[in-house]
Structure formats: C-alpha cells, structure tokens
C-alpha cells in the first residue's frame, strides 16, 4: 500500500498568511496526486489533481507542486473561507489512499 | 448539473446487513468509474471500493478491510451504484460517500454525494 503522510496535522494561521501543506508518499507515485478541501458537515471538494492542475472554479490562490515523492499544497493568501481540513490522495494505485488530513484553523 | 445522491444508511446491529444506493444524474453514468469512500465520525477519509466503467467491463476493486463482506454493483439503466454490506462490524460505522472519478482528464474525484450515515451498534 502507498502510505501518504501529511504535515503538519494541525495548522493555525491568520487571514492573509501564506500556508504550505506537505504530503509525502511512501513510494514514487509520479504526478498522480490530488488535494481536497473539506468543511464541517460537507463532502470533500476537489482542489488540485495531477499534483499541480487547478480544478475548474477553484481560486488561483491555491497551487500544487511535486518533487519526487513529496507534494505541496500552497495557499498564497488565506481567506476566511479557506479554514477547513485538507486531504491529499493518490488515485492510481490500489488500494487508493488518503493522507490523514491537515486541519487549518484561524489563529 | 452533476449530482450524486446516496441513500440507504441507518442503524444496524453487528453482524447485520445493509444496502446503500448512489443515484447519479447529469452525466453519462456508464462512462465513469464510481467509488465508495467512507469517513468515521471525527476521522479522515477511507477508500472503500470502486466500480469501473462500461469500457472496463464494470470490474470492481475493494479495500482489504471490506473484502469478502462488501460488494459493489451498478445498474446503468437506473444510473445507480450500490454497496451491499454484510457481516457489519462496529468499525464500519461511518458516513459513506459515493464519488465520481473524473476520468482520464481528471484523475481524481470531481463530484461527491452528500453521504449516507451507517451506524453499527447493538
């Protein structure tokens, strides 16, 4: 199984801050990685797929990158609606796996 | 508009069975892989299984934790996906989502349902 480790698990930040969340895969997964945002009581929402492609309708302050087995999600300037939990996912190797999540809260 | 609507959740005793449904609309159902993903209360996301599309003969994959107990099927004439769950355990308690894989262009879940809650308890 491909294990995904997100860091940090919890992050406290302020509106306007630049935030970086990291997802490290236990083995090389090429560029097959997605990022989701989940707010309380809601289904996850796709933000980025193929490591760096922004899903249609997602604000450009979200971006993704990859370097080997390490992937990052960057939010360039936090907005109030960005406080949520973020998950990475590898969609291509069975079993499909998710990171444990990063909870982003308002400082 | 793409929509996925889950139903069939509820309270069931350990060892019992339940069948979840996922009704799809707004897209060509037979063209897409559709997955089940669950989330235990206060926990993260866990992949349950997959139904491939018509082009891949509707074959399925399942997580090791549910293999032999859960069965995924679909009825394209009804635009519906099903999750037949048996021998349920307390650790199967979760919100169950169905999610659409976007296909070759979007290798990720581009649409999700709202989820249906399954509680396994005596």
pLDDT at A28 over 90: no
pLDDT digits (tens, 9 = 90+) for B66-109: 999 999 999 999 999 999 999 999 999 999 999 999 988 888 99
| Mean pLDDT on B26-47 | 97
CB B109 within 8 A of CB A37: no
Alpha-carbon distance A7 to A22, whole Å? Answer: 5
Alpha-carbon distance B40 to A63, whole Å? Answer: 29
B73 phi, psi to nearest 5 deg: -145, 170
Nearest to A89 among B108, B114, B115 (CB): B108
**Nearest one of A34, A42, A40, A41 to A58, comparing CA atoms:** A34
Partners of residue B112 on adjacent β-strands: B99
| Mean pLDDT on B38-44 | 98
pLDDT at B62 over 90: yes
**Mean pLDDT across chain B:** 97
Structure confidence at residue A31 (pLDDT): 84
pLDDT at B46 over 90: yes
Structure tokens at A50: 């193929």
| Mean pLDDT on A74-81 | 96
Structure confidence at residue B3 (pLDDT): 98
pLDDT at A26 over 90: yes
CB B100 within 8 A of CB B111: yes
CB-based contact (8 Å) between A45 and chain B? yes
- Position of tokens 């879940």? B109
Structure confidence at residue B104 (pLDDT): 80
CB-based contact (8 Å) between A91 and chain B? yes
Three-state SS at B56: helix
Report the phi/psi class of residue A8: left, alpha or beta, with left for phi > 0 and alpha for psi in -120 to 50: beta
CB pairs under 8 A between A and B: 59
Structure confidence at residue B55 (pLDDT): 95
Contact A49 B102 (CB under 8 A): yes
**Nearest one of A77, A65, A79 to A31, comparing CA atoms:** A65
Structure confidence at residue B28 (pLDDT): 96
pLDDT at A29 over 90: no
Q: What is the Rg, in whole angstroms, of the alpha carbon atoms belonging to chain A?
A: 13
pLDDT at B45 over 90: yes
**Mean pLDDT across chain A:** 96
Report the phi/psi class of residue B103: left, alpha or beta, with left for phi > 0 and alpha for psi in -120 to 50: left
| Mean pLDDT on A4-33 | 95
Q: Which residues of B touch A45 (CB under 8 A)?
A: 112
**Nearest one of A27, A10, A12, A6 to A72, comparing CA atoms:** A6
| Mean pLDDT on A62-84 | 96
Alpha-carbon distance B76 to B97, whole Å? Answer: 19
CB B9 within 8 A of CB B118: yes
3-state helix, strand, coil in chain B (%, to 5): 10, 50, 40
- Position of tokens 């309380």? A40
B24 to A18, B8, B101: CA distances (angstroms) = 38, 15, 13
- Position of tokens 């959740």? B9
Q: Would you place residue A92 in the very low, low, confident or very high pLDDT band (cuts 50, 70, 90)?
A: confident
| Mean pLDDT on B19-45 | 97
Q: Would you place residue A30 in the very low, low, confident or very high pLDDT band (cuts 50, 70, 90)?
A: confident
Structure confidence at residue B15 (pLDDT): 98
């Amino acid at each position: 199984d491909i294990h995904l480790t997100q860091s940090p698990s919890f992050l406290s930040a302020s509106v306007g801050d630049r935030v970086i969340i990291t997802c490290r895969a236990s083995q090389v997964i090429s560029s097959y990685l997605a990022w989701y945002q989940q707010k309380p009581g809601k289904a996850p929402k796709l933000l980025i797929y193929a490591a760096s492609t922004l899903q249609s309708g997602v604000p450009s302050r979200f971006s993704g990158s990859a370097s080997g087995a390490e992937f990052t999600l960057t939010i360039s300037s936090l907005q109030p609606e960005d406080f949520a939990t973020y998950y990475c996912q590898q969609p291509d190797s069975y079993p499909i796996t998710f990171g444990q999540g990063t909870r982003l809260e308002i400082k | 508009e793409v929509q996925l609507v889950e139903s069939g959740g509820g309270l069931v005793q350990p060892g019992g069975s339940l069948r979840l449904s996922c009704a799809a609309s707004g897209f060509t159902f037979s063209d897409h892989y559709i997955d089940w993903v669950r989330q235990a209360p206060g926990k993260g996301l866990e992949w349950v299984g997959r139904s491939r599309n018509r082009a891949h003969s509707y074959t399925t994959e399942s997580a090791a934790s549910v293999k032999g107990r859960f069965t995924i099927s679909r009825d394209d004439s009804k635009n519906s996906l099903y999750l037949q769950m048996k021998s349920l355990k307390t650790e199967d308690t979760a919100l169950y989502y169905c999610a659409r894989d976007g296909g070759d262009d979007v290798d990720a879940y581009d649409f999700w349902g709202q989820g249906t809650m399954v509680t396994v308890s005596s």
